[in-house]
Amino acid sequence: MVKKRLISVIYLLVFLGILGVGIGKMWGKGREAKASFFAMDTYISLTLYGKDGEKAVLEAQEKMTELEGLWSATHKESIVYALNHSGGAPVILDDETKELLRFAVSMARETEGALEPTIYPVLLSWGFTTGENRIPDREEIQDLLKYVGYDNIRIHGKEALLPSGTQLDFGAVAKGYAGDMLVELLRERGITSGLLDLGGNIQAIGSKPDGSSWRIGLRDPFGDGYLGVIEASDLAVVTSGNYERFFVGEDGNVYGHIIDPVTGCPADSGLASVTVIAKEGKVCDALSTALFVMGLEKASDYWREHRDFDMILITEDGKIYLTEGAKSRFSLNNSYEEYKWELIGER
Ligand code: ADP
Ligand code: MG
């Protein structure tokens, strides 16, 4: 009798134990860890699901702050600042900065200079870094353009060298590059589901905890709402446009923060926004800026030649052009259903 009871108790304990582990696992899986903070000149929000999410999210925030310290062109302690004020002397780079610099130069080459990591002197003259915007005159721009050109950048071993007057700006690629580094770090910490929002650069880790795709809003470049939703898992979705950082000049024109390196003036290519969807945040970030400079025709040709990413282009006249892969993920919100769209296909 006693023995029977003992066996029942053991069964019960084993059952409770299994139940406990199950609940613990579910709890761990579904638990959300969040962090919102300001870095790299933008609002960042990280949402993670998983067992050690709280610890991981803090580590990610720390990493982001560390990278900002390295790559900000305005922080006087940053490596970019050191390069920009080196007066032509070589500067020793840490591995991460060297990789970012190599990446920026390779994308500049690939996009034939539409991405131009040495655009900084021109950007400064338009006042985009200080917020004290102005319209520089032609001569001033032509003078500054002499220092612009990714071919000026020399990398030897651990050192980089910029000629005096040439200045770097990682504004178009740093957030994407940092996003990839955070994704890698978080995966190492066991995070299998999460959404990183780095000022509109979205990077999805895995799917939502329930297994469905993340739903990422595509901003209406002409208003405050969302044009539609992009479904994505394990992907980066990055948008560049002139609707967030711009100023209205004394002449009444709108001047955006993406500069056409050929003219030294804000890109005026007929596009209102460019969204790039691909595995890596750095590729999305570099391309969204470069394709914005190129405009519809050149950007479409670039896609035809590469095809290793998807994109959604919205023109100033309110039409959507998108690749097949982007279309399969994208749905327009009800209030925008009258929007015209067209597939980017063969020529
Ligand atoms: P955001 O930073 O708003 O997400 P982007 O990724 O398109 O937008 O980067 C724009 C930033 O990149 C600008 O604020 C400036 O710092 C820098 N920039 C502007 N024009 C160029 C260009 N043609 N090539 C490289 N960087 C650029
Ligand atoms: Mg960019």
pLDDT in tens, 43-53: 999 999 988 99
Atom nearest to 293 CA in ligand 1: 23
Q: Containing H/E element for 28?
A: helix 2-30
The C-alpha atoms of residue 345 and residue 152 are separated, in whole angstroms, by 36
Tell which residue, 192, 162, 172, has the closest CA to residue 89: 162
Q: What is the mean pLDDT of the chain?
A: 93
Lowest mean pLDDT among 19-33, 162-176, 259-273: 19-33
Say yes or no to pLDDT of 16 above 80. no
The C-alpha atoms of residue 278 and residue 294 are separated, in whole angstroms, by 19
Predicted local confidence at residue 57, as pLDDT: 97
3-state secondary structure of 245: coil
The C-alpha atoms of residue 100 and residue 75 are separated, in whole angstroms, by 18
Atom nearest to 289 CA in ligand 1: 7
Residue nearest to atom 27 of ligand 1 (CA): 172
Phi, psi for residue 113 in degrees, rounded to 5: 85, 5
Q: Containing H/E element for 11?
A: helix 2-30
Ligand 2 center to 4 CA (angstroms):
70
Ligand 2 center to 50 CA (angstroms):
30
Say yes or no to pLDDT of 92 above 60. yes
Ligand 2 center to 172 CA (angstroms):
4
**Angle between helices 281-294 and 174-188 in degrees, nearest 10:** 160
Task: Choose the residue to mutate in 71, 105, 145, 258 for probing ligand 1, maximizing ligand atoms within 8 Å of C-beta.
Answer: 258
User: For 142-164, what is each residue's pLDDT tens digit?
Assistant: 999 999 999 999 999 999 999 99
The C-alpha atoms of residue 225 and residue 120 are separated, in whole angstroms, by 32
Torsion region of 199: left, alpha or beta (phi above 0 gives left; psi -120 to 50 gives alpha): left
DSSP category for residue 293: H
The C-alpha atoms of residue 232 and residue 253 are separated, in whole angstroms, by 36
**Residues 319-337: what's their mean pLDDT?**
96
- The two tokens of residue 168 are 């770097």
Predicted local confidence at residue 191, as pLDDT: 96
Ligand 1 center to 51 CA (angstroms):
36
Say yes or no to pLDDT of 115 above 80. yes
The string of DSSP codes covering 63-76 is HHHHHHHHH-SS-T
Say yes or no to pLDDT of 185 above 50. yes
User: For 58-77, what is each residue's pLDDT tens digit?
Assistant: 999 999 999 999 999 999 99
Say yes or no to pLDDT of 99 above 90. yes
Q: What percent of the chain has pLDDT over 70?
A: 91
Predicted local confidence at residue 277, as pLDDT: 98
Q: Which residues surround ligand 2, an ion (CB under 5 A)?
A: 172, 285, 288-289
Say yes or no to pLDDT of 262 above 80. yes
310 ligand 1 Cβ < 6 A: no
Predicted local confidence at residue 50, as pLDDT: 87
80 ligand 1 Cβ < 6 A: no
Ligand 1 center to 228 CA (angstroms):
24
**Angle between helices 281-294 and 296-306 in degrees, nearest 10:** 140
134 ligand 1 Cβ < 6 A: no
**Residues 298-318: what's their mean pLDDT?**
98
User: For 231-242, what is each residue's pLDDT tens digit?
Assistant: 999 999 999 998
Say yes or no to pLDDT of 15 above 60. no
**Residues 34-44: what's their mean pLDDT?**
96
261 ligand 1 Cβ < 6 A: yes
This prediction's pTM: 0.91
Report whether 231 contacts 329 (CB < 8 A).
yes
**Residues 289-310: what's their mean pLDDT?**
98
The C-alpha atoms of residue 327 and residue 59 are separated, in whole angstroms, by 36
